[in-house]
Structure 1
Amino acid sequence: MKKHILVISQYFYPEQFRINDICTEWIDRGYEVTVITGIPNYPLGKYYDGYGLFKKRKESFNGMDIIRIPLIPRGNNSIMLILNYLSFVVSGFFWKFFTNIKADYVFIFEVSPMTQALPGVWYAKKLKIPCYLYVQDLWPENVEIITGMTNKKIISAIGKMVDYIYKGCTRIFTTSESFVESIHKRGIPLDKIEYWPQFAEDFYMPLDEQNVPEIPKDDIFNIIFAGNIGMAQGLDILPKAANIIRNKSTKKVRFNIVGDGRFKSEFINIVDEMNLNDMFNFIPKQPATRIPELMAANDAAYLGLTDSPLFAMTIPAKLQSYMACGIPNIASAAGETARIINESNSGLCSRPGDVEELAENIIKLSNKLKEEREYLGQNARKYYDIHFNKSDLLKRMDNYFKKTV
C-alpha cells in the first residue's frame, strides 16, 4: 500500500517553487501525495487567470491532488501581505477540522511566511503522525529585516509561534548549515535538525550557446538575473555598478533581467532615470523550463542579496539553478553564498552593497577569455553534482519516511 504524504505549502503550481518538483519526484517514487495550498497569486499579488475563490479549488498535477484553501491575494502593500498570511492560517484551521484525508506523514515547505506551517502542525497533532518542516526562511529574523519591524511585543509573539512550530515537528530540515545553529539556539535539540540543501529541477543543465529572440546576438557581455524581482535580491546595486562599468570598461555589458516582482516597476524607473536603458534588457517572467535556454545565451549569471546577518546565512534557490546550468556566477553576497562560490571556484563574489567591487568583478570577468569563463562554469556544475545531487538527497528523505512510519 502506498504511503501518503500530505504537503503543506502556501505556494504551489502554477507558482514556480521547488516544492513542485519535490512532490513530482515523490509520485515517481511510489508515494501518494496530496498538497494543501492557496490560490495562486505570487509574485504579482493577484489571482492567476482561471483561479479564484470559486474556481479550480481542486486540481490534479503530475499524479497528485491539489486542494486550494481560500486566501486573500498578496496585493501590493504590507496590509494586504499580512492579510494574505493570516487568511491561509485561518482557512487551514477550519480545514483540519473538516478534512477526511488520512495521511501517513506531513511535509511542510516553509518559505515566508512561517505561519503557513501551523495547519500542518495542527493536522499532524490531530492524527498523531510524523511532521517534517523544511525551513527556507528563518523567522522572526526574516520579519525584522524585510519589514523593518522593531516592536518587541510583536517580534516576541512571532518568536513564540515559531518555537511552537519547531517543537511540534518530528524533524526540521534546513536549506543552509547556518540555519541549523540558529534553530538550535531557540532550544531545539541538534539531533532534531538537519541540513538538507535544495536541488534544481532536472531541466536545469548546461546547454550549448543559444540564440534566443529576447537577447540580441552581438559582442556585448551578457549577464542574466532570473527570478523574483524584490527588495531582498539587492538589485538596486546593478544600475550603480552599470554606471561605473560604462565609464571604466572598454567592453560593453548588458544585464538581462528575467521575471516579475514588487520591485520591478521601481527598478525600471531607476534604470530610466540614470539613462542606462541600453545596458538593461527587461524580459517578462518565463516558464522555468526556458531559463536554462536563456542562461545559455548569457556569459554569466548574477545573484545578489542585501547586506544582513540573515541573508549571510541564506543559500538562495537560484544558486543551485545557476550552478546546475554550468554558468559562471557574479555575486554580491556574503556568508554561505560567498563560501560556495569561492569554494567551487565558479565565479566572482563581492561584498553586499560594495558597488565598486561588484563593478570591478564584472569588468574582470568580461575581460577573461571564453575558455576561462567556461572553466568556471564547469566548476559550478561539478560542485553541484557533488553537493546538491537530487537522487542522493531524496534517498536521505526516503530513509526518514521509512524510520518514522
Structure 2
Amino acid sequence: MKKHILVIAQYFYPEQFRINDICTEWVKRGYKVTVITGIPNYPQGKYYPGYGLFKKRKETYKGIEIIRIPLIPRGSNSIMLALNYLSFVVSGFFWKVFTKIKADYVFIFEVSPMTQALPGVWYAKRRKTPCYLYVQDLWPENVEIITGITNKKFIGSIGKMVDYIYAKCTMIFTTSISFVDSIEKRGVQREKIQYWPQYAEDFYFPLEKTRIDEIPNDNNFNIIFAGNIGNAQGLDILPKTAVLLKKNKLNRNIRFNIVGEGRYKETLEELVNTRSVSHMFNFIPRQPANCIPKFMAANDAAFLCLTDGDLFSMTIPAKLQSYMACGIPIIASANGETYKIITESKAGVCAPAGDAEKLAEAIIELSSKSFDELKQLAVKSREYYDKNFNKQELLYKMDRYFDNKEILED
C-alpha cells in the first residue's frame, strides 16, 4: 500500500515554488501525495485567472491531489498581506476539524508565513502522525526585518508560536547550516534538526549560448536577475551600482535583464529612472520557470543579492541552486552562507551585501574576462551544483528520514 504524504503549503502550482517539483518526484517514487494549499495569487496579489472561492478548489496535477482552502488574496498593502496570512490559518483550522484524510506523514513547506504550519501541526497532533517541517524563512526574525516591527510583545508572541510549531514537529529540515544553529538556540534538540539544501528542477541545466527576442543583440555584457522582485532581495543596490558603472570606461556596456514580478518592481523602476540609468536596465515580465534556462543562456552572468543583516547572512536563496544548475557565472551581493558557496565553488564573484562600490568592481572584473574564462566559471558552477545539491541523492535521503533510518544512523 502506498505511503500517503500530506503536504501543507500555502503556495503551490500554478504558483512557482520548489515544493511543486518535490511533490511530483514523490509521486514518481511511489507515494500518494495530497496538498493542502491556498487559492493561487502570488506574487501579483490577486487570484489567478480561472481560480476563486468557488472555482477549481480541487484539482489533480501530475498525480498530486490538490485541495485549495479559502484565503484572502495578498493584495498590494500590508493589511491585505496580514489578512492573507490569517485567512489561511483560519481556513486550515476548520479544514483539520472536518477532514477525513488519513496520511502517514505531514510535510510542511515553510516559506513565509510560518503561520501556515499551524494547520499541519494541528492535523498531525490530532491524528498522531509524524510531522516534518521544511524551514525556508526564519521567524520571528523575518517578520522583524521585513516589516520593521520591533514591538517586543508582538515579536515575542510570534516567537512563542514558532516555538510551539518546532516543539510539535517530529523533524525540522533547513535550507542552510546557519538555520540549524539558529533553531537550536531556541531550545530545539540538535538531533531533531537537519540541513537539507534545496535542489533545482530538472529543466534547469546548461544550454548553449543563444539569442532571444527579449534581449537586444549587441555587444553588451548581459546580467540576468530572475525571480521575485521583493523588498528582501535588496535590489535597490542595482541602480546605485549602475550609476558607478556609468562613470567608468568599460570594454563592454552593462545591461541588467530583470525577469519577474513582485511588490518592489514599481519602486525599482522608479529608482532606475530617477538615477538616469534606464538604458542599462531591461525589465522583462515574469516567465514560466521552465523557460528561465533559455534566458540564462542569453546572458553572460546571473545576479543575486540579499539585504545586509544577520538573517540574510544565514540565508541561501533558492535561485542560487537554479543559477548553478544552469551552469552560469554568478555575480552576487551577499554575505554569509551565499558568499561562502560562491567563493568556495569559484563560480563567480561576490561583493559584500549592500556595498555598491564593491559590486561595481566585481561586475567590471567579471565583464573583463574572456569567453574561455567565463566558460570555466560556468563549468565550476555546474560542478559544484552536482556535488552539493544533487536532486536524487537529496530525495533518497528524505525517503530514509520518512523511514526513520537516517535518524537512527545519525
What TM-score bracket applies, with the shorter chain setting the length?
over 0.9
Q: Which residue of 2 aligns with 1:182?
A: 182
Distance 2:371 2:360 in 1: 19
Distance 1:106 1:210 in 2: 43
1:165 aligns with 2:159: no
Distance 1:205 1:111 in 2: 25
Could you say what secondary structure the match of 2:59 adopts?
Answer: strand
Distance 1:189 1:205 in 2: 38
* 8 A Cα contact 1:249 1:363, kept in partner: no
Unaligned runs of 5+ in 1: none
Q: Which residue of 2 aligns with 1:102?
A: 102
Distance 2:232 2:186 in 1: 24
* 8 A Cα contact 1:35 1:67, kept in partner: yes
Q: Which residue of 2 aligns with 1:29?
A: 29
Q: Which residue of 2 aligns with 1:41?
A: 41
After TM superposition, the score normalised by the length of structure 2 is: 0.98
Amino acid at match of 2:11: Y
Q: Deviations over 1:323-378 (max 9, x none)?
A: 00000010000000000000000000001111110001101100100111111111
Distance 1:263 1:354 in 2: 20
Q: Which residue of 1 aligns with 2:236?
A: 236
Deviation at 1:216, TM superposition (A): 1.1
Deviation at 1:283, TM superposition (A): 0.3
Could you say what secondary structure the match of 1:173 adopts?
Answer: strand
Q: Deviations over 1:181-216 (max 9, x none)?
A: 100001100000000000000000000011111011
Amino acid at match of 1:147: T
Q: Which residue of 2 aligns with 1:86?
A: 86
Deviation at 1:261, TM superposition (A): 0.2
Stretches (4+) displaced over 2 A: none
Q: Which residue of 2 aligns with 1:129?
A: 129
Distance 2:242 2:277 in 1: 8
Amino acid at match of 1:316: P
1:154 aligns with 2:154: yes
Distance 1:3 1:204 in 2: 29
Matches within 5 A, 1:196-207: 196-207=196-207
Q: Which residue of 2 aligns with 1:286?
A: 287
Q: Which residue of 2 aligns with 1:256?
A: 257
Deviation at 1:178, TM superposition (A): 0.1
Q: Which residue of 1 aligns with 2:366?
A: 365
Unaligned runs of 5+ in 2: 406-410
After TM superposition, the score normalised by the length of structure 1 is: 0.99
Q: Which residue of 2 aligns with 1:389?
A: 390
Q: Deviations over 1:59-85 (max 9, x none)?
A: 110001000000001111111111100
Q: Which residue of 2 aligns with 1:270?
A: 271
Deviation at 1:393, TM superposition (A): 0.3
Distance 1:78 1:231 in 2: 13
Deviation at 1:249, TM superposition (A): 3.2
Taking every aligned residue pair, what percent have the same amino acid on both sides? 71
Could you say what secondary structure the match of 1:225 adopts?
Answer: strand
Q: Which residue of 2 aligns with 1:347?
A: 348
Distance 1:311 1:240 in 2: 20
Q: Deviations over 1:124-180 (max 9, x none)?
A: 011101000000000000000000111100111000000000000000000000000
Amino acid at match of 1:82: A
Deviation at 1:272, TM superposition (A): 1.3
Matches within 5 A, 1:313-332: 313-332=314-333
Could you say what secondary structure the match of 2:332 adopts?
Answer: strand
Deviation at 1:247, TM superposition (A): 1.1
Distance 1:313 1:184 in 2: 14
Deviation at 1:241, TM superposition (A): 0.6
